[in-house]
Amino acid sequence: MPVDKILVIGSEGQIGTVLSHALRQIHGIAHVVTSDINPPRNSVIGYFEKLNILDGAKLHEIVKKHKITQIYHLAALLSAKGEQNPRQTWDVNMNGLFNVLEVARQEKIDKVFFPSSIAVFGGLSSKINTPQHGILQPQTMYGITKEVGEHLAEYYFNKFGLDVRSIRYPGLISYQSLPGGGTTDYAVDIFHKAVKNEDFSCFLKKDTYLPMMYMPDAIRATIELMQAPVENLSMHYGYNIHAMRFSPEQLLAEIHKYLPEFQVSYQPDYRQDIAASWVESMDDSAARTDWGWQERFDLAAMCKDMISNLQKIKHNGASEYDEKMFL
């Protein structure tokens, strides 16, 4: 039976760190190649290739060298960082994806994963239980690149039969690595400050509701979508998936159950406008029907697990962080 050989692009980021580990557990260390524009944060497990995704020739060389059969393309600039440099965001997010799809088409890659986002919504999109096929009016360059990316993914499937699969992730919360420039990052940073007994200044208003998901659910969703039989999939652009909806104020109330002394102040900045343009919850019935999506973590379960893991990391010290974070 042919063996899957996987390339993760953007492996050193918030999702890539955890996803690469999960993929190694499923497919074996020798079958997962990680790559990023930045060097690995931890001691390298398996193969790592330094890659700027804008270098299509180098990407092609890596795919051929390792006989890659599946690509998880995570490299991107996120919403908040993206608004600081819209042109670079267009370049990395669009031309990077285009390079991946072209190499995948030429090398007859079996499957490509491309993450989309709640950022595709905005403007007249309905805010609650937002439909899968509703209005997309992204208000950020990041959201625009995700919407166009979804169209490109579908185009490559329809025109070339390239099996591209995609999820519109909500804001993701994890303890293993710090996020890199998103608007939902407050919901990760707040835990780090709480566990370190430091005050936290929140860049969103306390009543700003956003859809969120705990990383284990996001990783499982990604793997379950990639393992689903292609005939079960009704779309090759971003599936809505939903797990929980909360505001900074509600998150703080949950954290206070464990750390009652923790102090938060609110100093909304330009990220408030980005958050206000996004939706609060999504209708994910297509994902549930097509490939059995089902969340496991709600706000209470996520907070309990986050605080417990960050306290273990704090207790074990920084040197234990990288080694033990996945155990």
Positions that interact with ligand NAD (CB under 6 A) = 10, 12-16, 36-38, 51-54, 74-76, 78, 92, 96, 115, 117, 169, 171-172, 179-182, 184
Closest C-alpha to 100, from 166, 42, 48: 166
Q: What's the closest the beta carbon of residue 142 comes to ligand SER, in angstroms? A: 6
Choose between 31 and 146: whose C-beta lies nearer to ligand SER.
146
DSSP-assigned states of every residue in 227-249: HS-GGG-S-SSEEE---EEE-HH
Tokens of 74: 């995570």
Using DSSP's 3-state secondary structure scheme, residue 198 falls into coil
Helix (H, G, I), strand (E, B) or coil at 300: helix
Give the residue with the Cβ less far from ligand NAD, 37 or 259.
37
Q: Which of 10, 13, 122, 171 binds ligand SER (CB under 6 A)?
A: 171
| DSSP H stretches of helix in 123-247 | 141-160, 186-195, 215-227
Rounded CA gap, 34 and 42, in Å? 12
Q: Are 31 and 45 in contact (CB under 8 A)?
A: no
Q: Which member of 72, 142, 175, 239 is catalytic?
A: 142
Distance, in Å, from the CA atom of 189 to the CA atom of 290, rounded to the nearest integer, reads 34
Residue 238 binds ligand SER, judged by CB under 6 A: no
If the CB atoms of residues 180 and 268 are measured against ligand NAD, the closer one turns out to be 180
Polymer length in residues for the chain: 327
Map residue 202 onto helix, strand or coil. Answer: strand
Q: Is 20 in the site for ligand SER (CB under 6 A)?
A: no
What residue type is assigned to position 127 of the chain?
K
CB of 272 to ligand SER, least distance (A): 12
Q: Which is nearer to ligand NAD, 32 or 78 (CB)?
A: 78
Please give the residues from 280 up to 319 whose contact with ligand SER meets the rule CB under 6 A. none
Closest residue by beta carbon to ligand SER: 182
Least CB distance from residue 273 to ligand NAD, whole Å?
18
184 binds ligand SER (CB under 6 A): yes
CA–CA distance, 202 with 198 (Å, rounded to integer): 13
Per CB under 6 A, does 182 bind ligand SER? yes
In terms of CB distance, is 94 or 233 closer to ligand NAD?
94
d(CA 22, CA 11): 12
Question: What does 183 interact with, of ligand SER, ligand NAD, none (CB < 5 to 8 A by kind)?
Answer: ligand SER
Q: How far is the CB of 114 from ligand NAD (least distance, A)?
A: 8
Structure-block tokens of residue 294: 């089902």
Can you tell me which of 20, 79, 145, 277 binds ligand SER, judged by CB under 6 A? 79
User: Is residue 183 near ligand SER by the rule CB under 6 A?
Assistant: yes
Q: Which strands sit side by side in the sheet containing 171-173, from one edge to the other? A: 171-173, 210-214, 244-246
Burial class (CB in 10 A: 0-12, 13-18, 19+), 158: exposed
Q: Which does 74 bind (CB under 5 to 8 A by kind): ligand NAD, ligand SER, none?
A: ligand NAD
Q: Closer to ligand NAD by CB, 69 or 166: give it.
A: 166
Active site residue 142: yes
- Catalytic residues, which ones? 142
**Contact positions vs ligand SER (CB under 6 A):** 78-79, 117-119, 142, 171, 182-184
